[in-house]
Amino acid sequence: MKIRKVAGALGAEITGVDLRELTDASQLRSLWLEHLVLFFRDQQLTPAQYIAFARRWGQPIEYPFVKGIEGFPEIIEVKKLEHERVNFGGIWHSDTAYLEVPPMASMLLAREVPPHGGDTLFANMYLAYETLSEGMKRLLEGLKAVNTSSRADVSRTREDRVNSNEQKEYSAEHPVVRTHPETGRKALYVNVAHTARFAGMTEAESAPLLGYLVQHQVRPEFTCRFSWQPGSIALWDNRCTQHNPVNDYHGYRRLMHRITLAGERPR
């Protein structure tokens, strides 16, 4: 097994591993906690093999808005067709932060990719917090943010839009700064797609500070970029990262399979 860092802030590409044969994920988990997002290439997994790998990592759960593929309710399609202009989740976010218990992790397996474009950006929320001034850290200490699915129009799928009148609205309050339960490090936990305001404040009152935080947390030096190939997998930690799929491949098809893993209530 070889490990190659893809950027200074986060991300490592792992080679020399066949995930179909993986029986012990402990070494990979240590690398994941260190690098926040792991990338694998040339992993030609069937849905059954894909879900088996996910179960070695955590508990796969169903996505609240989209049905899974046939026979595997925890695997959803992330799809953009040739005629479509809007992609899935095309904005910086941490997955489903509007749930009372948001996911620990997500993994994405590329099935079909465009001839160019369609990369995904990732950002390190440890660095986003650690580079704040001491005064800002004191200001954020104890603050909670209201996250809502009603704000998530740009991060919804095709099915979400078609069935928008039938969808349940989710809302949850979480700490603005959360402590990672495995590493003990603090991470900034607000995002432009889901965070509407600070608890106890109006949206107008919250806007100036939220606006600063969501710009600060995706500074280029906090990020890495991954270019997909068929069989590529990305596995990221939702508790300390954000991601943003770049929508620069109009006229081409892109199909990914996503699995979400159960997490814990942010603290």
| Cβ atoms of residues 226 and 119 within 8 Å | yes
- Furthest CA-CA distance within the chain: 53
How many Å separate Cα 193 from the centre of its chain? 12
**Structural domain boundaries, residue 129:** 2-261
Assess if residue 240 is contained within a domain.
Answer: yes
Per the annotation, the verdict on 243 as an active-site residue is yes
CATH classification of the domain holding 32: 3.60.130.10
The one catalytic residue in 174, 243, 254, 257 is 243
Assess if residue 255 is contained within a domain.
Answer: yes
Distance (Å, whole) CA 37 – CA 51: 18
Instruction: Map tokens 């069935």 to a residue.
Output: 163
| Type and span of the H or E element at 249 | none
Assess if residue 208 is contained within a domain.
Answer: yes
The one catalytic residue in 95, 156, 174, 180 is 95
Assess if residue 16 is contained within a domain.
Answer: yes
Assess if residue 141 is contained within a domain.
Answer: yes
Per the annotation, the verdict on 93 as an active-site residue is yes
Assess if residue 267 is contained within a domain.
Answer: no
The one catalytic residue in 35, 197, 257, 258 is 258
pLDDT at 163: 43
Per the annotation, the verdict on 55 as an active-site residue is no
pLDDT at 133: 98
pTM: 0.94
Assess if residue 266 is contained within a domain.
Answer: no
The one catalytic residue in 93, 178, 254, 257 is 93
The domain total for the chain is 1
Task: Tell me the per-residue pLDDT of 179-210, one tens digit each, with 9 for 90 and over.
Answer: 999 999 999 999 999 999 999 999 999 999 99
Fill in the DSSP letter of residue 21: G
Assess if residue 161 is contained within a domain.
Answer: yes
89: confidence class by pLDDT, cuts 50, 70, 90: confident
Span 29-47, average pLDDT = 97
251: region left, alpha or beta (phi > 0 left; psi from -120 to 50 alpha): left
Q: Is the pLDDT of residue 143 over 60?
A: yes
Q: Which residues pair with 223 in a beta bridge?
A: 123
| Cβ atoms of residues 264 and 99 within 8 Å | no
Fill in the DSSP letter of residue 134: H
| Type and span of the H or E element at 267 | none
| Cβ atoms of residues 67 and 140 within 8 Å | no
Per the annotation, the verdict on 194 as an active-site residue is no
Residue type, 156: R
Q: Which of 184, 199, 87, 96 is nearest to 144 (CA)?
A: 199
Q: Is the pLDDT of residue 67 over 80?
A: yes
Task: Tell me the per-residue pLDDT of 144-153, one tens digit each, with 9 for 90 and over.
Answer: 999 999 875 5
In terms of C-beta density within 10 A (0-12 exposed, 13-18 middle, 19 or more buried), how is residue 202 classed? exposed
